[in-house]
Chains A and B, each alone.
Chain A
Amino acid sequence: MTLKKLAALALTTTLAAAPAVADLVIPDLSYRTGPYAAGGTPFSDGYQDYFNLLNARDGGIGGEAVRIVECETGYNTEKGVECYESTKGEGALIYQPLSTGITYQLIPKATADQIPLHTMGYGRTSAAKGEVFNWVFNYPANYWDAASVMVNYLLGENGGSLDGKKIALVYHNSAYGKEPIRTLENLSAQHGFKLDLLAVDHPGQEQKSQWLQIRRSRPDYVLMWGWGVMNQVAVQEAANIGFPMENFIGNWWSGAEHDVTPAGAAANGYKSLNMNRINAELPVFADIKKHVHDAGNAAGDGSNIGKVLYTRGMYAAMLAAEGIANAQSIHGVSDITPAQLRDGMESLEITNARMEELGMGGVGPAFSVSCSDHGGNGLGIVQQWNAGEGKWVALTDYITPDDAVTQPLIDEDAAAFAAENNITPGCL
């Protein structure tokens, strides 16, 4: 391995000396417009800024410059398809659509075109099963992990038993929002808590009925799977009915700064999951400021640096870049193909030491990917909003999900997909 790496290093340095002809094309299917723009913009800023940092500071990845091709989807699947087709022709290496709807579109397409798809903490959960979804990766965590992490956190809060507790799930009435239901139902049977399901239709401006119902039934905890305006309204309504905010936990797409700021001080104490720790003091942010923002190359207006979703976008870019570097070292070429990147992603190993080295220590957990497990270890933290200081505070260390619950569900769903599409599970 080391020998291989050394050889690759030698090779890349010689290649870097020669003028780079081709470059690494990374499409960014962003959405800076439309109903979900507030979430899409910081993610995309972080995603692009990190690649720009690599270009400016390290001369790209393995000496190969990264070229970002941004395409605006507006969270709309039709535009997502247009974006996919238009960037595919440019030699796109990896897709990160940040939309469950677009992900479902792209899973068969990207598989047929042999381009890896990375859906970090969203998309189709059963894609964690790499034998069926060879080209789709959803590490470091997925929705079912999130549901399980939430329940494990609550178990910890309640001395290991949720027996007789009442938990309500407020969810976006879409594919995204329905994802955790099955997991939570299984967990509710296992741990003996009662589960109430409350659907909120897109866009979610009006949730009075749901919250009046919560007020009447007084669940011990409210979990939320929201996105877009639904988050802001839900936080406000929870505060309105006087629901104790510390018992209200959103998933990691319901826990950004803009989700809580409109409610002001009332949002204090609201909790959410996160798969990436945030820390504005990370060295990587200083580097981004120096090499990217001060050079006038910031994506967007540069105001999002250090925020939850910005950090997540940057984290996603880092995972892609590490995958590329890994692929370069495996195959010994710097100008890799999508298929080679897939190999790099499938044998990706993120260690804490490596994270420190990259200037983002603790942002994500250490995990490794294999053919049978494209999903990482599914760790998540619980964070709490401090309205006075205007920032999220991490409450816990990484919490482990209950694989015994999620794995059978993943296997079952993946098997159904394989049967429907005539896929014989296996490694590439």
Chain B
Amino acid sequence: MFYREAGDFKTTYQEDSQTFPIKFDRWRYWAVLAVAYLFIPFVINDYWASAVFIPFLIYSIAAIGLNILTGYCGQVSLGTGGFMAVGAFACYKLMTAFPDVNIIFHIIISGGVTAAVGAAFGLPSLRIKGFYLAVATLAAQFFLVWLFNKVAWFYNYSASGQINAPERFVGNVAVTGPNADAWAKYLICLVFLTVCALIARNLTRGAIGRTWMAIRDMDIAAEIIGVNPLRAKLMAFAVSSFFIGVSGAMFFAIYLGAVEVGEAFGIQKSFLVLFMIIIGGLGSIFGSFAGAAFLVILPVALKLVGVDLLGFPTDLVSHFQLVIIGALIMFFLIKEPHGLAQLWRLAKEKLRLWPFPY
């Protein structure tokens, strides 16, 4: 009724190719942003920030990054954890070496460092394809973690190899360290996520995005129509790693504050982010959000229901958590094999015809 193109006249090409062609979607988009920027920061507390929002926002950035590589460019990667570690350690070294530079630059430069590392590990993708490519990224994963564990320079020669984020400010508001307020940490993550999502959306619908998708659909055919696979693939690795590096830097500096490389950036992290984009939907920015939300918020929600409402023993609840998450993944797949993003698309299709579907 209210969700349709009819009556929304577009007079320029620009309007015709905008992200949200339907008026209601645009309103919804601005409403979501308004709530995220103008409402949540005023009500957020430590618990909601640390347990739900900050991990969700940071994982979303990582998922967007991986989705560019895997969803748009078709290159399977299991090196996300290793690349996040690069971002985190780059950020740590920068924070301790240049304490006077604003943390925002540190995070961005960390992304740049990760992009370089990612592109280097992307080189084998020119030769190895499909599932087999995962080996190159797995090599990156294990090698990088080993490197950061072994070379004491990376953790400033501390006794245990843990890195701790010192307190840093944006303006005069602390965003890292224990005294940072929940809203400040939330807002900086949100700003980064918004910018990253905008960049990703505009990259993927532009010329670069189309070359990526051509590579994904069939790289030989893409080469024939004039796409340079070297450039396109390495670009995808670099851009994807940039986002992942940013998320790794924030994961360390803002979210956890102290990390140990093997525990925080191990292979499990790579799998987790991959699960996010597959569950959310490959090749979809919205899917990255949905997948991150599913795997970050669902466990917390199940725990709240199981332990706090029903009063079950904690170990039973966490076993059930696994059973329920696993069953839900399989259930969703059987109902809708293309991830949550596809469900969302279908819901929108239905809504456009509602209430007169015929």
Contact = CB atoms under 8 A, between A and B. Distances in A.
Chain A directly contacts chain B within the complex, with at least one CB pair under 8 Å: yes
B229 interface: no
Contacts of B318: 32-33, 72, 74
Contacts of A420: 96, 164, 166
Interface in B220-248: none
A416 B96 CA distance: 12
Contacts of A201: 146, 262
B257 A176 contact: no
Interface in B145-162: 146, 149, 158-162
A331 interface: no
B50 A176 contact: no
A86 interface: yes
A108 B50 contact: no
Nearest to A419: B166
Nearest to B263: A101
A74 B322 CA distance: 12
A202 interface: yes
B257 A105 contact: yes
Contacts of A37: 315
Nearest to B269: A78
B101 interface: no
A88 interface: yes
A228 to B, nearest CB: 12
Contact of B256 (A81, A107, A113): A81
B209 interface: no
Given A109-B257, A174-B260, A104 B162 contact: yes
A202 B164 contact: no
A33 B50 CA distance: 22
A199 to B, nearest CB: 8
A100 B164 contact: no
Nearest to A175: B160
Interface string A19-50: 00000000000101100010001000000000
Interface string A62-93: 00000000111010111001101110110000
B86 interface: no
Contacts of B307: 70-72
Interface in B71-108: 96
B172 interface: no
A31 B317 CA distance: 12
Contacts of A108: 164, 177-178, 257-258
A179 B315 contact: no
A3 interface: no
A107 B266 CA distance: 23
Given A112-B178, A179-B160, A416-B158, A86 B47 contact: yes
Contacts of A2: none
Interface residues of A, number: 49
Contact of B160 (A82, A105, A176): A176
A84 B46 CA distance: 10
A424 interface: no
Given A105-B257, A173-B149, A174-B263, A81 B159 contact: no
Interface residues of B, number: 39
B281 interface: no
B251 to A, nearest CB: 9
Interface string B165-184: 01100000000011100000
Interface in A411-428: 413, 416-417, 420-422
Interface in B26-77: 45-47, 50-51, 55
B50 A125 contact: no
B327 interface: no
A392 B34 CA distance: 63
A178 interface: yes
Interface in B248-272: 255-260, 262-264, 266
A290 interface: no
B300 interface: yes
Given A82-B300, A124-B160, A421 B47 contact: no
B314 interface: yes
Contacts of A72: 303, 307, 314-315, 317-318
B345 interface: no
Interface string B270-289: 00000000000000000000
A421 B160 contact: no
Contacts of B335: none
A37 B258 CA distance: 23
B319 interface: yes
A158 interface: no
Interface in A318-362: none
B258 A105 contact: yes
A333 B161 CA distance: 42
Interface in A247-297: none
A174 B259 contact: no
Nearest to B145: A201
A101 B315 CA distance: 20
A367 to B, nearest CB: 23
B46 A88 contact: yes
A409 B300 CA distance: 40
A74 B314 CA distance: 10
Contact of B259 (A77, A112, A179): A77
B198 to A, nearest CB: 27
B266 A202 contact: yes
Interface of B: 45-47, 50-51, 55, 96, 146, 149, 158-162, 164, 166-167, 177-179, 255-260, 262-264, 266, 300, 303, 307, 313-315, 317-319
12 contacts: A70-B314, A81-B256, A84-B50, A88-B46, A101-B162, A101-B264, A104-B258, A105-B257, A107-B258, A113-B178, A175-B263, A202-B266
**Closest 9 A/B residue pairs (Cβ):** A32-B315, A112-B178, A108-B178, A175-B160, A72-B314, A82-B51, A104-B258, A85-B47, A85-B50
